[in-house]
Amino acid sequence: MAGVLYAFITVLGWGTWLIPSQNIRFKNQQIKTFYVAAVNLVLATAVAMFQGFRGLSWQVFWLPFVGGLVWAGGGFMAFTATDRLGVARAYGIWSPLNVGVSILCGIVFFHEFLSAGPLTLLLTAVALAILIAGVLMIIFAKGSGKGQAAAGGAWIGLLAALGAGLLWGSYFIPIKLSAVSMWVAAFPMAVGIFAGSTALVLLSGKPVGLNSGTEYWRTIATGVLWVVGNYGSLLLIDTLGAGRGFTIAQLGIVVNGLLGIFLLRDPQPKSKAAFLTLAGCVLACAGGILLGSLK
C-alpha cells in the first residue's frame, strides 16, 4: 500500500507541475529550472530542520549532492533538445531511454531482477513494452511541436535528448548508493540541484526576474508540485527498487496528457489526437500497474 501511495503522489505531482506556469514567457528554460530548484531547496531545508538533520554527515552528503548535479545537467540537455527538436520529439527520445537506463542501472548497481524467475522476467518485459508504447502514443499524439531545426541543429538536439535520457535515468544512483533514508538524502540532493541550476543560469547570462507578482506565485506553485513529485519518486524508488520505481514515476505524463485534453484543450477533445492520447493513457497505466504488482 505504501508503494501505491508513493506512486499516486509522484504521478500527481509530476503530471501537474508544469500547468501553473504553462503560459509564462520565461527568457529561457534555465530560469524556470532555477525557480524550481530554489523552491526545492527551501522545502528540503524546512524538512531537514524539522528532522534535526539527523543522520546527515559529509560522507552522507556528497553522494546525493552529486545526484542533484546530475539532475541539473539532465535538465540542461532536455531544454536544449526541446528547443532543437520540439517537445514531442525530444520527450519521445529521452522518456523511453529514462526507463531503459533506470532498469539497466537497477540490474548493474543494485542487482535487481537477477533472482527473478522466468515468468517474472517475461511479465516485466511485457509491462515495460506496454508502458513505453503508451508513453510514446501520448507524446506523438500531440504532433512534433515547435522548434524544428536544420540538420546541424537536429543533430545537436538528438545528442542532447540522448544525454537527457542518460542523466535523468541515472541521477538517483548516487542517492541510492548513499544507503540512507530518502528523507535524509533529499536535502543534499536539493543543494546539488540548486548549485547546478544556478551555474546554468549564470552561464546563460539572462536575469532571473519575472514580469509580475502573479508570475512569481505561479512559478512557485510549479516548484512546489515538482518537489511533491520528487519526494514521492524517491520514496517510490526506495520502496520498489530503482528500476521499477523510476519507471512507474514516468507515468506522470498520463496526468499531463489528460490535463492537456480536458483543461488546456491541447489536443482538442474528440479529435484523433485526443483519442490517441486517451488510448496511450490506458496503455501506460496498464503497464505501470502490471510492473508495480510484480514481486
Specify the pLDDT at position 146.
46
Q: Three cell numbers at 241?
A: 527498487
Length of the chain: 295
In terms of phi and psi (left: phi > 0; alpha: psi -120 to 50; beta: otherwise), the region of 26 is beta
Specify the pLDDT at position 24.
84
CA-wise closest residue to 133 among 14, 288, 274: 288
| Average pLDDT, 10 consecutive residues per value, the chain (295 residues) | 87 84 81 91 92 81 94 83 69 74 78 77 85 80 52 76 87 85 88 95 91 94 92 85 75 76 76 84 80 68
**DSSP SS3 for 161:** helix
Question: How far is residue 134 CA from its own chain's centroid?
Answer: 17
Pinpoint the alpha helices (H) of 241-271: 242-249, 252-262
Structurally, how many domains does the chain consist of? Answer: 1
Specify the pLDDT at position 86.
65
Specify the pLDDT at position 145.
45
Place of cell 485526443: 274
Specify the pLDDT at position 97.
78
pTM over cut 0.95: no
- Per the structure, the complete domain to which residue 42 belongs is given by 2-293
> DSSP assignment of 49-95, as one string?
HHHTTTT--HHHHHHHHHHHHHHHHHHHHHHHHHHHH-HHHHHHHHH
